[in-house]
Amino acid sequence: MEEKKKSTIAWILTFAGSHKNLYTISVATAVMGVIFGVIPYFIMGDMIHRLVDGDRNWQGYLMEGILMALCWAGRVFCHSISTTCSHKATFHVLGGLRRQMCDKLSRVPMGYVKDMPSGSLKNIMMERTDSIETTLAHILPEFTANLLAPLFVFFYMLTIDWRMALISLITVPLGFLCYMLMMVGYEENYRNVLTKTKTLNDTAVEYINGIEVIKAFGKAKSSYERFVTAAREGASCYVDWMRKCDIPFSLAMVLTPCTALTVLPFGGLFVMNGSLSPTDFIMIILLSVGLVQPLITCMSFSDDIGKMKTIFDEVTGILTAEELSRPARNQKTPEDDSVVLRNVRFGYHDKEVLHGIDMEIPSGTVTALVGPSGSGKSTIAKLIASLWDVKEGSIYIGGVDIRKLSLEEYNRKVAYVSQDNYLFNDTIMENIRMGRSGATDEEVIAVAKKSGCHDFIMELENGYDTIAGGSGGHLSGGERQRIAIARAMLKDAPVVILDEASAYMDPENEAVIQTSVAKLVQGKTLIVIAHRLSTIADADRIYVINKGHVDSFGTHGELLKNNGLYKKMWEAHISVKDTVKAKSSARVEKNPEGRCRSCLKSC
């Protein structure tokens, strides 16, 4: 909660880390550049006085001209050093910012990530974060320079004639007033832009990811209209905002730099009445021309500062999100690999889906969770895998509450494979190796053979060097699941959770996986969630979950005798299998070539 009180500058310095001194150097060299930029004004003043007085020492003028050129070179050099340092510091800030967001996402509950649309999350971490690079890299040196330079010039004008110095600023408050009118409702308008842009990103991601379903069900027109509407609103929010700003912005840009409107008439009047010398009048005119433009540049940064604050609010919203309650190191050491749930309650948002779950899974056994869809089986698996924290109750592993174990150590202890597996846009070899980063190629290939992946991998274009594609898009659903299972097995965790891990596999591949899993999980604690009850009939213990409660538990035989719900599910499963088998046999008999018409192979 303390982090929420940090200012934007405090966050910037936090992200900059050890490179924050680069910002200090950037500001210091920017100030030096300003000094080099102001010195020529003093030299010009001296040259004008000497010229008016009739001094014809051209060599002296040449030396002063060379000095002005050197000052200009010094200003350019300091500006280059300043912007170089600020850019280096900014890149470290953005890098640190993105790293911290990625680290944070690994520590927050899965529900937080699931609730945030992927388009919005990606937009904040990439486009939004990247958009503040220019502001961070330029605002410190350039804001410093553009603010200090006119201050030095103004103080110099005061030494010449305080009246003319103040008169030269008459148009500035008028311009600033117009600029402030333009900034009215800035935060509201920018929030609207962010909201509409997020909606556009989310709609685009949804449209692209769902294009197959959209086309299959003839929803292309309605879905595309949603995308077009989001795109139109995303563009119009900018246009409408700019229209509101047109008049005040134009007035600000016209009025602010018009110092001549006041300097020339008043200065001419003072010269005529003898209260201002002609040389000082000329000097005032020259100085007033360069007085306001830097201030306009400073004003232009206000928009970037407001944008940066809004973006940092989004970023810090991620960084200050509630994390899983875990210590940095294990407070106790688990005695074994048993898993116990005591009075576990959990809900998504305000809806409770688990109502006091009690469950014991002995170490080294195979335990299955079965039940109707939506009963809470996968939620229990995710809680055991520590993807969420329980609302009430406790989960123990080896007799230790998992909230007393470090998240890093616990992740090493548990391998979780769901029905929706993600593969990275990398080679098959590297996707499997993610289970254990130090594994050799030989170990990866060995586990692939044991998990039934090797043969189909070798049939791919480049074998283990084949790129899986974004989200594993170059592979079929069954192939992705088999790679994910191989990855989990390579991890060699003592507790393995298979959440419908064979959901997308055909019977032949499922049989291979069942055999492979049986070999690979010997001596491990295996938790299986499956709708195909025949695959878990030999489990040491089966828990029947219904409407967020444990309905009953026991072996397959015990449940068939004593539990009506399980018996009903089993009978429904067997009847479906018999129907499918009968239809398959009929197709084979009708085919004179002895080949199945659905797969064109001998069956």
**CB atoms near residue 541 (< 10 Å):** 19
Question: Looking at residue 385, what DSSP letter applies?
Answer: T
Beta bridge partners of 572: none
Q: What is the pLDDT of residue 590?
A: 46
Of 52, 50, 85, 78, which Cα lies nearest the Cα of 64? 50
DSSP-assigned letters across all residues of 228-280: HHHHHHHHHHHHHHHHHHHHHHHHHHHHTT-THHHHHHHHHHHHHTTSS-HHH
Residues of the chain with pLDDT under 50: 1-4, 587-603
CA distance 51 to 466: 79
pLDDT at 507: 60
DSSP string, 36-65: HHHHHHHHHHHHHHHHHTT---HHHHHHHH
Q: What is the pLDDT of residue 67?
A: 92
pLDDT at 218: 60
pLDDT confidence of residue 598: 35
> At 470, which amino acid appears?
G
The domain made up of 339-562 is a member of CATH 3.40.50.300: yes
Distance CA 552, CA 559 (A): 8
The string of pLDDT tens digits covering residues 180-235 is 787 777 777 877 877 787 778 777 777 766 766 666 656 566 666 777 788 887 78
For every residue of 457-506, DSSP letters joined together read HHTSTTGGG-B--GGGTTS-HHHHHHHHHHHHHHHT-SEEEEESTTTT--
For 525, phi and psi rounded to 5 degrees?
-90, 115
- How many Cα atoms occupy the beta-carbon half-sphere of 428 within 13 Å? 27
**Residue 164 vs residues 37, 154, 264, 279, 292: alpha-carbon distances, Å:** 22, 10, 10, 13, 14
Contacts of 554 (CB under 8 A, 6+ apart): 541, 542, 562, 563
* Distance, CA of 78 to CA of 114 (rounded, Å): 48
Judge if pTM exceeds 0.75: no
Q: Where are the domains of the chain?
A: 2-169+259-319, 339-562, 571-603
Tell me if residue 35 falls in helix, strand or coil: helix
- Report which of 497, 496, 329, 347 is spatially closest to residue 400, judged by C-alpha positions: 329
State residue 70's pLDDT score.
Answer: 94
- CATH architecture, domain defined by 2-169+259-319: Up-down Bundle (1.20)
Q: Read out DSSP for 290-334? A: TTSHHHHHHHHHHHHHHHHHHHHHHHHHHHTSPPP---SS-SS--
